[in-house]
Structure 1
Amino acid sequence: MNALSLAWKALRHKPLGTALNLLLMAIGIAMMTFILAVSTQLEEGALRDAEGIDLVVGAKGSPLQLILSSVYHVDIPTGNVPYPILQALATHPLVKTAIPLALGDNFHGFRIVGTNASYAGHYDAHLAQGKLFERPMQAVFGALAARETHATIGAKFAGSHGLTAGGELHDHAPYTVVGILQPTGSVLDRLILTPVDSVWRVHETDPDEAQKPAAERELTAVLVEYASPLAAVSMPRWVNSQPRLQAAQPAFEAARLFDLLGIGMDVLRAIAGGVLLVAALSMFVALYGALEERKTDMAILRTLGASPAKLLRLLLAQGLLLSLAGALAGWLLGHLGVGVLAASLGSAQQLHLHTWRIVDGEAWLPLIAVVVGLLAAALPAARAYRTDIAATLARSH
């Protein structure tokens, strides 16, 4: 009978202790798996959504709120800005592109974004069905928004006031679905795009308002891509000097946000490390106690021809089995936790996480678990290796 089968039988002999050690190991690995999967996916998603956006121009207020509302679409806007700022930015020699955003409504929780065709092009989006909007009150659905709302080409729908589900229905101005985008893995997947004029039309129920010139209308924000590195120095200063405007830089605000989140992640990693340490100590106590209880059995095994090396392998195999089983259970628990978080974020039409995606750092977790298990088994295994047959049998009589 080999060391692994003997180790398995020994572990089954102490089901309660084995279950406790497995639980502690699984909790530690689960926490590390969850932290790695969530932090990596959130950071990659944030970088992808903000790629190519050098500056966001919006109403004065919190720069972070402006970035969250206009780039990631997970917060409320800071206010509105005059429409003429779009022309001023679009014709500025240091600006490559200026993409307008007009927010205010949603459809089943998915934001309706007034913009132009450049917004879809910015994320390299391609059509799965239909075409891009060509005139007001036409709408193009992102892949996730289309799937969750069962949108079909030619269908009509009415937006609800506000950026979350449950607001007043604008049934006086229905939209027509003209296109559905392929998945991009970006924020675009959970948005509904329409011309800026559509957003104005929906909210202008008074005939006098509908006749207002463009110069008197408003936008929520403008996404800017620089034409030259020099713009990074002068553009934010120029924007911030305007009475109603502020400039927010996604790269800076995202870094600040992840610095804040990183503190919490570091605390969770420390807790996970502490749980793994407790698991190692518990495993050590269990294996050491089992060795003390089975000293006579070990001595008899030696008299039957078992070598010291075989006893060493037996204890190490127990630690290995416990650690690998705990690592597997922890990995499954960790990803199930990601799935629960993904479901809660998905129901709020916010961020999208992949439950079973394996990120780079996870490759080290089985190795960490094995090292923890082998270290916990090392001292009991060394004692078993040095077992004195005669003295042990003499003490047992």
Structure 2
Amino acid sequence: MNPLPFVRALLARNPRTVWLFAALVALASALGIAISAQERALRQGSARAADGFDLIVAAPGSQTDLLMATVYLRPGAVELLPGPVAHRVLNDPDAAFAAPLAFGDSHGESPVVGTTAELVQHLGCDLAEGRVFARMNEAVVGALVETPIGAELAIHHGHGIEPGAGLDADLAADLPAAPTHHDDHPQGAHGDHHEGDHEGVLVTGRMRPTGTPWDRAVIVPVEYVWSAHVMGTGHAPGDDRIGPPWQAELMPGLPAIVMKPEGIADAYGLRARYRDAETMAFFPAETLTGLYEVMGQAAQVMLALTLAAQILVIAAIFAGILAVLGLQRRSFAVLRALGAPAGYVFLSVWLYVAIMVMGGAAVGLPLGWAAAHLVSAMVAQRTGIAIVPMLGAPELMLAGLMVFCGLVLALLPAWLCYRRPVVEALR
């Protein structure tokens, strides 16, 4: 006997109950899938953001704080490398190039980063439009900074950064306001000057999208940041050049230096060389690995709790299904009295429950993927990291586990209906 017509009739008899149970399964399944996909997407996105930073050298301190400040441009207080030490690192012959990083200012919600044209080209390859900065009061903006080429940007001190972040603490506490305009400062596209704590900068170029927080940054010559905070420029007074070479005795301090080694052997050699009492060197990928271990442990706990919640949801659903099937016990008894075998009833009830579980899990898979995309968009908006969640083997296994548990538990109501005596059910 074919049980499908009878199962179809059972489903059509209580459509609201069927939809409700299937929706509960879908939501429980979507929660676990969203957590799994989002955690993996966050790891992949944050790893891609660090690809352009081979080796970071800074004053001894927290590698995590330095990683957040340099790669992800998160505000925070860091110690400065003394000028002579920074000069020695920047001129190391074993590096393909070494670029300084200086922080402490902002334009609106965009952090201002002081560095060299070489690092801009390294991170963004060819610019999307315009050219790299050639003067101290020029800037290149990230792909997501909404300002046209030729506009003048107002630069302010601080970006939610603690006093002294990226600057000498005593100096930062007593910084005088920089002049708002110099006679030789080029005007913006509209000829106006925006008021700020420091001299404005003229936008000369835009980077290509990198999928990193640098897409929201305003990048200026490192001399601009030094000069704005009355620290000199690393060059002789009156010398308006930007970029290396700098003079060791005039070199201001730096929060961090990004180095690109010539090869793998050079990378480990440079890291060992600058692990001493004055400097700290680390690979961002190694620091991220430690963070991923913590993140992975937290994700495993959340997934375990989610799986437990899913099992409880399924158990609660089956309790409701048992109540619904109890109301239909006479229908099963009539079938048995008409000659339907007990196995037919068992299979019909099992299929009835299995269809709801599998239907809910099938809906939960795209629902969880959509939820992961929503969360990723929110995280990307806050961090600037491009996060693209994808459904992979872990999510498919999670959905499959949900279905498997449901199909196994569906044997219980089917067995109870199978075991119920016909006479008792007809009363």
Deviation at 1:258, TM superposition (A): 1.4
Q: Is the 8 A contact 2:38 2:372 kept in 1?
A: no
Equivalent residues in 2 for 1:26-37, closer than 5 Å: 26-37=26-37
Decide whether the 8 Å contact of 2:46 with 2:385 is kept in 1.
no
1:61 equivalent in alignment to 2:61: yes
The CA distance in 2 between the partners of 1:139 and 1:306, in whole Å, is: 82
The residue that corresponds to 1:162 in the other structure is 158
Of 131-140 and 102-111, deviating more is 131-140
Unaligned runs of 5+ in 1: none
TM-score, structure 1 as length reference: 0.81
Asked whether 1:320 is paired with 2:360, we answer: no
Moved more, 263-272 or 78-87: 78-87
CA distance in 2, matches of 1:179, 1:198: 16
Distance in 1 of aligned mates of 2:291 and 2:134: 37
Give, in angstroms, the shift of residue 261 of structure 1.
1.9
Do the aligned residues in 1 keep the contact of 2:141 with 2:203 (CA within 8 Å)? yes
Q: How does 1:216-255 map to 2 (within 5 A)?
A: 216=250, 217-243=252-278, 245-255=279-289
Q: Given residue 318 of structure 2, which amino acid in structure 1 is its aligned partner?
A: F
TM-score (norm 2): 0.76
Match of 2:320 in 1: 286
| Residue 295 of structure 1: aligned partner | 329
Q: Is the 8 A contact 1:3 1:314 kept in 2?
A: no
Tell me which residue corresponds to 2:78.
78
Q: Is the 8 A contact 1:316 1:378 kept in 2?
A: no
Tell me the residue number matched to 1:361: 394
With 87-96 and 191-200 compared, the bigger mean Cα shift is at 87-96
C-alpha deviations, 1:25-69, integer Å up to 9, x for none?
345323322322321122112221222533211122212211221
1:301 & 1:126 partners in 2: Cα distance?
A: 76
Gaps of 5+ in 2: 164-176, 178-194, 239-245
- Further displaced range: 336-345 or 151-160: 336-345
Matched, 1:381 2:414: yes
Q: Which residue of 1 aligns with 2:294?
A: 260
Structure 1 pair 29/395, CA: closer, same or farther in 2 (3 Å)?
A: closer
Q: Distance in 2 between matches of 1:205 and 1:88?
A: 18
Change (3 A) 1:188 1:255: same
Query: Offset of 1:87 from its aligned partner?
Result: 4.6
Change (3 A) 1:275 1:155: same
The two structures, once aligned, show a CA RMSD in angstroms of 3.6
> Residue 19 of structure 1 corresponds to which residue in structure 2?
20
Structure richer in helix, relative to its length: 1
Structure 2 SS opposite 1:136: coil
Q: Distance in 1 between matches of 2:130 and 2:330?
A: 78
**One-letter code aligned to 1:108:** G
- Which amino acid letter does the alignment assign opposite residue 193 of structure 1? I
**Residues in 2 aligned to 1:14 and 1:161: alpha-carbon distance in whole angstroms:** 60
Distance 1:178 1:10, change over 3 A: farther
User: How many angstroms apart in 1 are the aligned matches of 2:256 and 2:116?
Assistant: 13
3-state secondary structure, aligned to 1:240? coil
Please report how far the alpha carbon of residue 93 of structure 1 lies from its aligned counterpart in structure 2 after TM superposition: 4.0
Out of 387, 404, 411, the position equivalent to 1:371 is 404
- 1:151 is aligned to 147
Q: Equivalent residue of 2:274, what SS?
A: helix
Distance 1:394 1:73, change over 3 A: closer
CA contact 2:350–2:413 (8 Å) conserved in 1: yes
Rounded Cα–Cα distance in structure 2 between residues aligned with 1:210 and 1:304: 105
CA contact (8 A) 1:57 1:224 kept: yes
1:396 is the counterpart of 2:422: no
